[in-house]
Structure formats: C-alpha cells, structure tokens
A and B are shown apart, each in its own frame.
Chain A
Amino acid sequence: MDKCIGIDLGTTNSCVAVVENGTPKVIPNKGGYKTTPSIVAITESGRRLVGQMAKRQAITNAQHTIYASKRLIGRQWGSSAVRHCIETCPYEIVPGPHDDVRVKLRGKEYSLPEISSIILQEMKLVAEEHLGDDPEQTVVTVPAYFNDSQRQATKDAGKIAGLDIIRIINEPTAAALAYGYDEDVEATVAIYDLGGGTFDISILDIGHGVFDVLSTAGDTFLGGEDFDARIIEHLAYEFARDHQIDLRKDEMALQRLRDAAEQAKIELSSVEETEISLPFLYTQDDGEALHLQTTLTREKLEELVIDLIQRTTKICDATLQEAGLGPEAIDDVILVGGMTRMPRIQEEVEEFFGTKPSKKVHPDEVVGIGAAIQGDALVNEDEEDVLLLDVTPHSLGIMVHGGGYEKLIKKNSTIPTSESHIFTTVRDHQTSVKIVVLQGDEEETEDNELLGEFVLSGLRSASAGEVEIEVEFSISADGIVSVSATDLETGKEQSITVTASSNLTEEEIDRMIEENEDYLMEVKRSEEIEELRTQIRRTIREINKLVSEVDDIEGSNSELLREAKERAVEAVQTAEDTIDDASLEELEETDEKLSRALEAFRGVFQRT
C-alpha cells in the first residue's frame, strides 16, 4: 500500500491526515494538536519558526511573523487583495520581480510559495514522525475559488518543500469526501466552508462512492480574519474615542488587539458576553500607560459582522442557481471551518437551506481527512474506491476581435473536459492570429485573468472570414489547461500548455529548493551542535562530580590519581572556554577528548 498524505493548507490553521487500513485519520503534531497554526516567523538569529511556536512569539516579533499568507499567494502586485493586506498586516510586503508579491523578513525577501513551503514542510514532518517514513505523495487542498496561478503557486510551495503534490483538490470537495466516505450516502449536499480567510460553497451529488461537484463558488477574501478585523476596528474606534489615539498605528498594540479580538470571537460562540482586558496597551508621551477594558456582547458582535454573513448566503444563492437547484433540493448541509461555530452563522445557514446543518464531521479536520481519502484513492487503485468528479471553478476562453471574451469551457464543467470552437480571420490578408487565453467569469474582458498567449502564423492570405481556425481547450484530470489552435486549411497547429504563471520562474523555484535544502542542512547541523554541547556539558558535570568525590577522600590520593584529575580538569577548562563558539568539528574533538579524560580519570579512581 502506497501512502499518500492529505494536507489542508489553511489560512489560519493547517492539518495533515492519512488513510491507514482504510481509516482516515488526522495526525497530531508534536504538541498533540490536530491542527497547526499556518504561521511562519523568522527569529533574530535567522531561525524559522512554524506553527504554535511562531504564534506564541507573534506579539513580540510582529514584523517578522507571517500569518494568513494564503491570502497573498499567487496574487498580482497591485491587486486589491494585496493592497488590503499591505494596509492591515504588520509585516512588510514588497513587490517581486514578476509583478508578484514578496514579504520581507529580517532583510531577506521571501516569495509566498516559500512561506507556504515552510508550513507544508512542518506538516510533512508531522506525518513523517507518525509514519516513520518520508511521505512522498501528497494531496493538498485549496479554496474552490482559487484561480490557476494560486493553485500553481501552491504546487510550487510543495516543490520547494520537497513534496510531490499529486493533486490539488478543492476544500469543500474534500469535506464532502470525508462526509460521505465509508457509508453509502446518497444525497445532494451543500458544503458551507467559512475558514480563516476564505469562504467557499459547493454543491455536490453523492452516490455509490461518486462525488459529483455540481457547482462551486466562493470569495477568497471573506473569512474569520475579516470578522476579527471588524472587532479590532470596533475596539480601536472605542479606544480612539476615549483617548484620541489610533491603536492600529502601534504594531504591538495592534497585535494584542488582534489576539484579543480572536479570543473574544471564539468565546462569544459559547457565551453571551465576554470581557476584553488589555492592560498597559499603550504608553502615552507623558509616560502614562493606557489600558483597554471593555465588554463585548454576542449581539454587538453579530451587529458588527452581519453583512459578512449575508455575503455568504448571497453566494450560496448564486451557487444554487448555477446548479439549477433550489435550497429545498439540499438534503444536508456540511459546515466546515472554525468560523462555522458561530451560532449566528449556523442560524443563518439553517434559515437559508431550511435544514439543520450536519454535525457528522469535525469542521477543523474534515478537509485534511478528505484530502487523505482522495490521495489514497488515487495511489491505491481499488474498484471500491471513491471517485471525485471535480469541476473547473472558472470559465476558460479566448479574447476575440473587438476585445470580447468568448468562453469555451464554462465554469463548473466536470474535468477532464475539452471544447472547441471555430474562429475566422477578421481582416483581409491576415496571415496570423494571436490567441489570448483568459480565465474567469467577469463581465469585462480585462477583469479576467490572462493565462497566456501564442500566435498561429502562416495562414493563407485571403479575405476576411475565409480562413478558419479551430481553437480547442482541454483540461486534464489534473487540472492542467492546454490550448491548441489549428488552421483548418493546412492542418497547421500551435498549442500551449498553460502553466498558469505562479509568478516564479523555474530557476527561482530551483534556487528556492536549494536554499531550503541549505537551510535544512544548517538546521540539522545546528541541532547536531546543540546535541554535542549537551553531551559535552553532561561529561563536564560527571568529571566535576568525580573531582569532588576525589577531593572528599583526602590523603589517599595517589600521584596517578592526582595526575588524572588534573588532566580531566584541564580538559573541562578547555571545553568550557570553547563550547560557545566552536564549530561542529571542534566540538566533536572536544567531546572525544573530554570523554577520554573522564574514562581515564574514572579508571584510575576505581583502581584506587
């Protein structure tokens, strides 16, 4: 049985799972937690921190701690999403060389795939410790609404982390897999996934182990973070009203506000009101410290975020319409993501679909589990397996004369799929056409994403409309888009495989892989050094202990013993002097010398 792990690379938390003996399960991390915060930090000494460790130091190291990096991955510099992050994030966001986004930590620029790779690597490590083996193949989930470059960037992250991502699947689909696995479920279900950063809704038909996505939609900028932001704004506003001070301008204060907001939001899912107490939040110019002390009620919170919740149900409505269904056609609603614990959200969802959401799955673990199920189904061919019929979340087409956008593959088409269409030349004596490949569903052509372009040349010179060119789009089961254009007269063909620009070049990825490996080597080395130091210190303690024992037995000290003791003490002295700055090799030498001295000392001592 090949092992393939599933990783839910979340905006706020990540989770890794695997199917063992037919049972999917989440693998807990070293701390025993089933999810790991998707937070990466670089310490002053250049060390990377991931997960809980990174989260814990976030307040004191806000500038060099990256959270919610998923919101930036695969984005274009200058997009509204990026602008929004620049405004709200304490870490430094800078433009990359390909119009992409980088973050600057301790003077070094990191691409977003690199940041994600650090998280993936951590999850890989968690799996490795559990499996006792290197998990080579992985299925990673992304929000359904991720476009091609975001998906590609996620794949790049896997590459940098040394993971073979065999498939990227949509989070809600993964959730459905977990929901319907191992049981003969036959139902039409809605997956309502409100996570830390994104909102996704998918409608699926499940039956006989087949999971058929009917439609899927979402908003990559709607999630728990936005709820937190509302609370932060509210708190900052109250504070500004009382003290005429904008807390958001103070990084330390903002970080504390953020933590308090998240805490309060979570608490308000189970209680009606909560105290927010942030003593010594701000120090005024005159040295006087200001505290934030307030109460937040569930009602107030709901008032602050109700429009966000309504945005989700609006998307649900549109998605249902696309699937050609009414809310009553939904047999079950599955809630995914920590945000769905909020009572008001459950109420709104229940009201919209007219059915109580299912409690069958765990909102934090279900996506990772689904990814593991899909991975297992892919690598182990078994007739009884589940089969996921995924769809393409965005329409695909080409730009036509006059700047229009002609869609060839409609969104929500089951993949693999292909469509073709005949186009004609628009000018007399036109001998080449430029095929501009677009992705998206926006009305305005320019609002859609440019996936690539190529030129078909050598057409017969003829009047406009006479030469026919057939354009064929296909999407493989792996979601790879290829486009070909054929001159129907000559059979001449041009095609491209659209490797959506993840904004990183092959060389950059290779360099990042190398850097990552170097870093890991460095980490390994420093771990070895640390281990040696501990070992050396242990030997020093033993020698010292022996010395005091020898000193206790006064008078009976032979010449031999005294010499051995002196040699050992000397070795201890040298070791203590060099231990902090020595290289690995020097430490090894020291360790050996010390051990020998101890052995000799002990040998002589025991004989006397």
Chain B
Amino acid sequence: MIESRLLNATHEPLFDDNATPTQVSGVDIDELSETPSPDDFFLYSRIDGSTTVGELCSTSGLGRESTLEALQRLLEVGLIDMPGVEREEASSAPTSSDATSSRRETRRPRTSSSGANDLESSRRGETRGDDEASTGDSASNESTGLDLSHLPVPPSAFEFDDRLLERDDLPIERPKRRELLCLHGQLDEVNYYQFFDIDRDASARDIKHAYFKLSKRYHPDRYFQNDLGPFAEIIEDVFQHVTRGHRILSDPEQRDEYDAQLEEQEIVDDEEDVPTPMNQPSSIDMARKQDASTDIGDDNSDPDKREAAFRVLVNRGTQARQKEQIVQAAEQFRKALRIQRDVEVALEAADMLVEADLRLEQAQLFARAALRIDDKHPDAHLLMARIFDKLEERERALEHYNQVLDIREDEMARRRRNELLDS
C-alpha cells in the first residue's frame, strides 16, 4: 500500500491538508525498519493529535515538500497514524523473504478477526469516520481522491487511459477521474466488501456509512446537467454497483448467500488457484457486454477492462520474475489468471516455479489450470510430469510423460520416461 502511495506522490498531494496525524504509542524505536532522520523526529515531536497536515507544513520550518515527505516516512515506519491512510503494520516487523504474502496477510486480521481485535477495529473505523465528518471529508477528498489502495489493482498499478484523464472539456477533476476509472476498470473483480472498503463482518451501520459515503461521491446528480462525455456511463455504472452492493449487503439473507459464495470462491481459489473471477457476471451479463462492445466498440466495456487489468498483472508478474522475485511474480500471475484464463501465462508461471524449484504445489495448480483450458497441451503435461518427478511421485510423473509422448515426440520426456520405467 505504501508503495502505491509513493507512486502516487509524483502525481498528487499525499495527504489531506485537514487531516490530523497522531503519534502511535508503544512503538519500539530500535526496531524500526528504517531510521528516521533528525528532521523526521523533529516533525514527529510537533505531532500532537490536533495540528493538521496543513499547519505542520507551514510551521515545521522544513518547507511543505520536505514536511510531506517526512510525514510519509513517519507513517511508513509506523510512528504516526493518519486518518484516511492505513498504517502498514508489517513494516516494523523483520521483513520476511515472502514480503508480498505477509503483507496481504496484514489485511486479513481486519476482515476475519474476532474478540478484542474486533472491537479495536470497529472503534478505529468509527473514529475515522468522525474525523472525516469533522474535517469535511468529501470536500477534502475531492482534491486528493479517495484512497483506493485496497483494490486488487490499486491506482498506482492501474493503466489509465490518458485520453480520458487529459480531456479538458469535462467538469470532473483529475483525481476523481482516476478514482472512477480505477474503480470502473475492476468492478467485476472486487467483491463488495473491497468495493466498500469494509470488513467482512462489518455491521449494518458500517455498511450504511460506506454506502452513503460512496453514493455521495458517485451519484450522477453530483454532475447534474453537466456533459460528462464518456464519464457519464462510467459514473452511472459505478453508482449502480454501489446500490447493488448495498442491496445485497444490507439484506441479511442476501448477504449470507453472498458471503457463502465468496467463501466458496476463496476455497476454490486456494485449491485450484485458477478460479473464475469473483462476482463473475452471469453468462447473460457477459453476453450483453460482449454485444455492447462489438456494437459500440467502447474501449471501456468489460472484456476490454478485464483485458487491461489482466495485462497489468501479467506485466507486473513478468517484471517481478526478471528481478527474480519469484514468489511475488507467482502472486501476480495468480491474480492475472483470476481475471482471465490464459494457457501461456499459466504455463509461464508453472515453468518459473519449477525452474526455481519453489512452491511446487502452486506450480502444479498453474499447470493444471493450463490443462483445464487445453487438456492436450504437451507443455502442460511436461510440466506436470516434471513437478511430480520433483515431488518423487513417479507413477503420476510417468503418466504425464506418456501423455506428452502421445501428443508429440519429445526427447527429454522420452529419456526421463525410460529412466523411470527402468528404475
């Protein structure tokens, strides 16, 4: 999340000027992942829970830019809290080799914790809400945009259509456009809890608050009688998603059903790793969207959005692989495949893991996913065979080597098969 914020930094101010940072108590300064500079600590000493970011900037003596950067660092190492910005809990902990997954885990406790933690989190949620109300939440967010870093594809990773961002004949400010495009681009991928940025066990009240907040931001009436160009449809889609989500989450019965679906989906995800997308639109929806796209050629239509998100994730995976961040790369590929089934990507991911001799179970899932799309794919069978070989499951490895040889002549497969048969 911090990464995304830093990336954002080049585009827009990081914090709301009216936000009031607070010191986090009980942080062991010796255990910080990074040592803040004396300037940072000076600023830290000015943070008293009532001075706003804007006031800090003008009174710190460091200059606005340096103050904001210092605040960013303080937030990063976990010394301060900022309403509206979530603090990264993992950063003060020793970094594990598997940084990506541990980071993702840090969100989990929020969603499925119980007992005391629960109270803690809901209380935090409330004070956050109050802060926002008192500092004129929506007005201030207008300039910085809503924090969407919790989305599967956060704004920092989203490929924006520059034409839409640059058009100067539209009454929507740029941060808001980024927000809308980013949300709209992944309506099908996010579940309603992510969309509303609420916990899985959010109370009816939390849901209502989130619903009201988003409605106020995305109701088409905000831009009444203004020509929004391509954004007219986008904002309406986003708003309808808000109301749909609310309709489901606010009805206990429908919510239970939805939760069950989500859980099922997650089990499937974990087991097979190549799930169908969350909230997968019914075939009806897909058909409609495909129709619409062939008709109008609208590049914001769903298949294209999906394609864009898919490409973003694959690119990130490939980049991570180049940097030899295999686990991260695998994670990106997994996300990509969640959006769109693709033999090549699945095979690349499996191959990568096999080559690195890492997470063979996951490699197996990728290869299996490829087979599910094309059960006669020789490379997929070859990978399966190699994985089982590594796992010393000879019978099954043999089976797949035979499959490969049924489809094509493959020297390596034949050699290894013969070796196995011999033993």
CB-based contact B285/A420 at 8 Å: yes
The digit string for A30-45, where 1 denotes a CB below 8 A from any CB of B, is 0000000000000000
CB within 8 Å of A: which B218-269 residues:
219-226, 236, 239-240, 243, 246-247, 251
In the assembled complex, which residues on chain A have CB atoms less than 8 Å from the CB atom of B240?
Answer: 416-418
Q: Which of A480-505 contact B (CB under 8 A)?
A: 486, 488, 491, 493
Q: Does A183 contact B (CB under 8 A)?
A: no
Q: Once the chains bind, are A378 and B221 in contact (CB under 8 Å)?
A: yes
Q: For residue B287, which residues in chain A have a CB less than 8 angstroms away from its CB?
A: 422, 468, 470, 488
Whether A377 lies near B221 (C-beta < 8 A) is yes
B45 interface contact, C-beta 8 A: no
CA distance A488 to B285 in the complex (A): 11
Nearest chain B CB to A391 CB, angstrom units: 10
Interface code B187-230, partner A: CB below 8 Å = 1, 0 otherwise?
00000000000000000000011011101100111111110000
Could you tell me if B221 and A414 are in contact, using CB atoms closer than 8 angstroms? no
Contact: B216 with A491, CB < 8 Å?
no
Q: Known contacts A420-B285, A420-B288: does B221 contact A210 (CB below 8 Å)?
A: no
Q: Please tell me if B303 contacts chain A, counting CB pairs below 8 Å.
A: no
Report B269-285 CB contacts with A as 1/0, cut-off 8 Å: 00000000000000011
* B139 at the A interface (CB under 8 A): yes
Instruction: Report chain B residues within 8 Å CB of A476.
Output: 220, 236
Say whether B136 faces chain A, with CB atoms less than 8 Å apart: yes
Q: Report chain A residues within 8 Å CB of B219.
A: 387, 389, 477
Residues of A within 8 A of B225 (CB): 166, 378-379
Asked if A427 is at the interface (CB within 8 A of a chain B CB), the reply is: no
Given contacts A210-B215, A420-B288, whether A324 and B224 have CB atoms under 8 Å apart is no
Q: Is the CB of B136 within 8 A of A207?
A: no
A491 nearest in chain B by CB position? B291
Is the CB of A357 closer than 8 A to any CB of chain B?
A: no
Q: B142's closest neighbor in chain A, by CB?
A: A383
Kindly report which residue of chain B lies nearest to residue A378, judged by CB atoms. B224
Partner of A208, one of B213, B221, B246: B213
A164 to chain B, nearest CB (A): 10
Contact indicator B288/A472 (Cβ below 8 Å)? yes
From A417, A470, A477, A493, contact of B221 by CB (8 A) = A477
Q: Are A381 and B138 in contact (CB under 8 A)?
A: no
A378 to B213, CA, bound (A): 18
CB of B209 within 8 A of CB of A207, answer: yes
B411 contacts partner chain A, Cβ-Cβ < 8 Å: no
Return A554 CB to nearest CB of chain B, in Å. 76
Q: Is the pair B208, A387 in contact by a Cβ cutoff of 8 Å? A: no
Q: Contact check, A477 vs B139: say whether CB atoms are below 8 A apart.
A: no
In the bound complex, residues from chain A placing their C-beta under 8 Å from that of B209 are 207-208
Interfacial chain A residues near B243, Cβ < 8 Å: 389, 413-414, 417
Q: Which residues of B contact A166 (CB under 8 A)?
A: 224-225
Known: A491-B295, A493-B295. A384 touches B136 (CB 8 A): yes
B294 is an interface residue with CB less than 8 A from chain A: yes
B133 within 8 A of A: yes
What's the least CB distance linking B91 to chain A, in Å? 32
Counting chain B CB atoms within 10 Å of each CB, which of A416, A486, A488 scores highest?
A416
Check if A422 sits within 8 Å of B221, measured CB to CB.
no
Closest to B294 in A: A491
Question: A421 on the interface (CB 8 Å rule)?
Answer: yes
Q: Are B215 and A387 in contact, with the CB atoms below 8 A?
A: yes
Whether the pair A421, B213 counts as a contact (CB closer than 8 A) is no
Q: Are A387 and B216 in contact (CB under 8 A)?
A: yes
Within 8 A of B (CB), among A404-424: 413-414, 416-418, 420-422
Quick one: given A207-B208, A207-B212, A324-B251, are A416 and B139 in contact (CB under 8 Å)? no
Chain A residues contacting B220 (CB-CB under 8 Å) are 416, 476-477
In whole Å, how far is B241's beta carbon from the nearest beta carbon of chain A?
11
Q: How far is the CA of A229 from the CA of B219 in the complex (A)?
A: 44
Once the chains bind, are B133 and A184 in contact (CB under 8 Å)? yes
Determine how close the nearest CB of chain A comes to the CB of B190; give it in whole angstroms. 19
Contact indicator B133/A208 (Cβ below 8 Å): yes
Known A416-B240, A421-B284; judge A210-B295 contact (CB<8 A).
no
CB distance from B221 to the nearest CB of A (A): 6
Contact (Cβ within 8 A) A210 B224: no
| Closest chain A CB from B255 CB (angstroms) | 12
**Per-residue B-contact encoding for A363-388, CB less than 8 Å = 1, 0 else:** 00000000000000111010110011
Cβ A208 vs Cβ B251 within 8 A: no
A156 within 8 A of B: no
B144 CB to nearest A CB, Å: 13
- Establish whether residues B239 and A416, one from each chain, have CB atoms under 8 Å apart when the complex forms: yes
- Given A378-B224, A381-B222, A493-B295, the answer on whether A210 and B216 have CB atoms closer than 8 Å is yes
A483 to chain B, nearest CB (A): 14
Smallest CB separation, B270 vs chain A (Å): 33
CA distance A377 to B223 in the complex (A): 10
> By the criterion CB–CB under 8 Å, are B216 and A379 in contact?
no
Chain B residues in 8 Å Cβ range of A388 = 221
Residue of B nearest to A210 (CB): B212
A212 proximal to B (CB < 8 A): yes
Whether the Cβ atoms of A486 and B212 lie closer than 8 Å is no
* Interface presence of A95 (CB below 8 A): no
Docked CA distance A324–B288 (Å): 32
State the Cβ distance, A381 to closest chain B Cβ, in Å.
6
Q: Is B216 a contact of A209 with CB atoms below 8 Å?
A: yes
Please give, as numbers and ranges, the residues of chain B lying within 8 Å of A488 by CB-CB distance: 287, 291
B330-389 with Cβ < 8 A to chain A: none
User: Which residues of the partner chain B approach A421 to less than 8 Å between Cβ atoms?
Assistant: 284
Q: How far is the CA of A388 from the CA of B213 in the complex (A)?
A: 13
A416 to B215, CA, bound (A): 11
- A389 & B291 in contact (Cβ 8 Å cutoff): no
Find out whether the CB atom of A379 lies under 8 angstroms from the CB atom of B285. Answer: no
* B215/A486 in contact, CB under 8 A: no
Q: In angstroms, how far is the closest chain A Cβ from the Cβ of B179?
A: 14
Q: Tell me if A193 is interfacial: C-beta within 8 Å of chain B.
A: no
CA–CA, A301 and B208, complex, Å? 44
CB distance from B202 to the nearest CB of A (A): 15
Chain B hits for A416, CB < 8 A? 220, 236, 239-240
Verify if A591 is at the interface (C-beta below 8 Å from B): no
Asked if A8 is an interface residue, CB under 8 A from chain B, the answer is no
A171 touches B (CB below 8 Å): no
B29-68 CB mask vs A (1 if < 8 Å, else 0) is 0000000000000000000000000000000000000000
Q: Which residues of B contact A122 (CB under 8 A)?
A: none
Asked if A200 lies at the interface with its beta carbon under 8 angstroms from chain B, I say: no
- A422–B284 CB distance below 8 A: yes
Verify A208–B212 contact, CB threshold 8 A. yes
- Chain B positions within 8 Å of A468 at CB level: 287
Nearest A residue (CB) for B284? A422
Q: What are the residues of chain A within 8 A of B288 when measuring CB–CB?
A: 420, 470, 472, 486
Residues on A with C-beta less than 8 A from B285 are 420
Q: Which of A205, A324, A486 contacts B291 (CB 8 A)?
A: A486
Task: Enumerate chain A residues within 8 angstroms of B291, measured Cβ to Cβ.
Answer: 470, 486, 488, 491, 493
28 contacts between A and B (CB under 8 A): A166-B224, A207-B208, A208-B209, A208-B213, A208-B216, A209-B216, A212-B211, A377-B221, A379-B224, A384-B138, A387-B215, A387-B222, A389-B219, A416-B220, A416-B239, A418-B240, A420-B285, A470-B287, A470-B288, A472-B288, A477-B221, A477-B224, A486-B288, A488-B291, A491-B291, A491-B294, A491-B295, A493-B295
- Known contacts A166-B224, A207-B209, A414-B246; 19 additional CB pairs below 8 A are A184-B133, A208-B133, A208-B216, A210-B212, A210-B216, A378-B224, A379-B225, A383-B136, A383-B142, A384-B136, A384-B139, A389-B219, A414-B243, A417-B243, A422-B284, A468-B287, A477-B219, A488-B287, A491-B294
Q: Taking beta carbons and an 8 Å cutoff, which residues of B are in contact with A?
A: 133, 136, 138-139, 142, 208-209, 211-213, 215-216, 219-226, 236, 239-240, 243, 246-247, 251, 284-285, 287-288, 291, 294-295
5 shortest A-B CB distances, which residue pairs?
A: A210-B212, A383-B139, A414-B243, A378-B224, A383-B138
Q: Chain A: residues with CB nearer than 8 A to chain B?
A: 166, 184, 205, 207-210, 212, 324, 377-379, 381, 383-384, 387-389, 413-414, 416-418, 420-422, 468, 470, 472, 476-477, 486, 488, 491, 493
